[in-house]
């Protein structure tokens, strides 16, 4: 954030967005147009949002004209903050966080001039902290994540490429509730290294790579592996219990394969660290990760109810991962044939 005379500039470098706030108090429409044109000329790339504070109907007309004559209207959004505190979108793109903040403006406390430098300095410290954290995490090689991915690929290549014998072994290792209750307890763990087909395998491994590398850097290898394995077992037990209930109600037997229960455990663990009272992550990273993770969870919850997906393995693994991370110390960087359900 930068403040100069009657102009304030906020930037989101990682999102390619910038916000310019112009104070119109005591300015004529010509002065406002000159200021807006200067801002537009200085803008080089990304999305730009301009907010004029005050100015009435004349300021709205100036902003609308500037938007119509802008060289790239697709990258511009223009607002006016009226004297009574309402935010009006004059033209162009929308900036949802700004509109949400404007709705809470009436309840916000006005900053004194003495508080502004401290607020700017806190923002600078948070950016430095987030950059140092990201740099340190990027230097940690997620070896356990790559080992897990390699095991899943090797198991798939060996079993699915070995004809009937491989399929027999696969059936012996998948999670079947009837067999689990008969004493074949290994199935609640080994199922997590099997996959129904190549698409199922690739989707799960991409998810494991994108989420696992980050969490392994945060927890440390051993604790990360403990969360992964425990979540796999938790998902396996959940689906075995659900299968037993289904069989008791007269439903057909089913068998589950896939790493999604364990991967859901990683999502649950990450959510626990982001929402926990102990600050494990830098504020900027935690805020961004919280928003993205909640969206990913909503999408995955919806997908879990699709036919052929074992939602019990998903939710069981996610719950175990969440509970384990809540009680764990993080290691932040100095910074008719039976159906095979997929997880």
Instruction: Compute the mean pLDDT over every residue in the chain, rounded to the nearest whole number.
Output: 84
Domain 2-108 and domain 143-342, same fold? Reply is: no
> In whole angstroms, what is the distance from residue 339 CA to residue 260 CA?
17
Pairing of strands 17-23, 47-53: parallel
Q: Residue range 233-256: average pLDDT?
A: 88
Q: Which contiguous run of DSSP H or E holds residue 298? A: helix 283-304
| DSSP H/E element including 7 | strand 7-12
- Rounded to 10 degrees, what is the CA torsion of 282, 286, 289, 291? -150
pLDDT digits (tens, 9 = 90+) for 131-189: 777 777 777 788 999 999 999 999 999 998 778 888 899 989 998 888 998 899 999 99
> Could you give phi then psi for residue 76, rounded to 5 degrees?
-125, 140
Query: What digits encode the pLDDT tens for the residues 274-287?
Result: 887 666 677 777 77
What is the spatial distance between Cα 150 and Cα 72, in angstroms, rounded to a whole number? 47
Distance CA 108, CA 237 (A): 49
CATH C-level class of 143-342: mainly alpha
At 118, is the secondary structure helix, strand, or coil?
helix
Overall fold of domain 2-108: Rossmann fold (3.40.50)
Cα separation of 242 and 80, whole Å?
56
pLDDT value for 338: 42
Q: Is a pLDDT exceeding 90 seen at residue 111?
A: no
Q: How many whole angstroms separate alpha carbon 289 and alpha carbon 5?
A: 34
Query: For the segment 3-39, what is each residue's pLDDT rounded down to a tens digit?
Result: 455 678 887 766 778 888 888 887 888 888 888 888 8
To the nearest 10°, the Cα dihedral for 35, 37, 39, 43? 180
pLDDT tens by residue, 68-100: 888 777 889 999 988 888 889 999 888 888 888
Range among 86-100, 113-127, 293-307, 317-331 rated most confident? 86-100
Domain range summary for the chain, segments of one domain joined by +: 2-108, 143-342
């Amino acid at each position: 954030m930068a403040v100069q005379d009657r102009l304030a500039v906020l930037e989101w470098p990682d999102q390619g967005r910038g916000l310019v706030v112009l104070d119109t108090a005591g300015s004529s429409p010509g002065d406002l147009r000159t200021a807006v044109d200067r801002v537009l000329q200085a803008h080089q790339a990304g999305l730009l949002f301009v907010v004029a504070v005050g100015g009435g109907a004349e300021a709205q007309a100036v902003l609308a004209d500037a938007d119509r004559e802008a060289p790239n209207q697709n990258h511009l959004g223009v607002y006016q903050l009226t004297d009574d505190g309402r935010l009006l979108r004059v033209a162009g793109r929308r900036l949802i966080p700004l509109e949400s903040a404007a709705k809470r403006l009436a309840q916000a406390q006005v900053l004194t001039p003495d508080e502004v430098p401290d607020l700017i300095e806190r923002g600078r410290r948070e950016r430095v902290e987030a950059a140092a954290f990201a740099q340190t995490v990027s230097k940690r090689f997620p070896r356990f994540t790559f080992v897990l991915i390699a095991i899943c690929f090797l198991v798939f290549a060996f079993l699915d490429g070995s004809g009937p014998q491989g399929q027999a072994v696969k059936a012996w290792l998948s999670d079947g509730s009837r067999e689990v209750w008969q004493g074949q307890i290994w199935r609640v763990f080994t199922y997590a290294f099997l996959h129904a087909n190549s698409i199922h395998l690739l989707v799960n491994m991409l998810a494991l790579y994108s989420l696992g590398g980050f969490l392994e850097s945060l927890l440390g290898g051993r604790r990360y592996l403990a969360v992964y394995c425990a979540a796999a077992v938790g998902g396996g037990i959940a689906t075995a219990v659900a299968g037993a209930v289904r069989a008791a109600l007269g439903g057909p037997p089913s068998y589950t394969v896939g790493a999604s229960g364990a991967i859901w455990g990683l999502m649950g663990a990450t959510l626990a660290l982001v929402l926990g009272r102990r600050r494990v992550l830098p504020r900027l990273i935690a805020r961004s990760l919280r928003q993205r993770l909640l969206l990913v969870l909503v999408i995955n919850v919806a997908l879990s109810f699709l036919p052929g997906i074992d939602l019990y393995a998903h939710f069981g693994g996610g719950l175990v991962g969440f509970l384990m991370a809540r009680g764990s110390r993080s290691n932040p960087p100095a910074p008719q044939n039976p159906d095979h359900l997929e997880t």
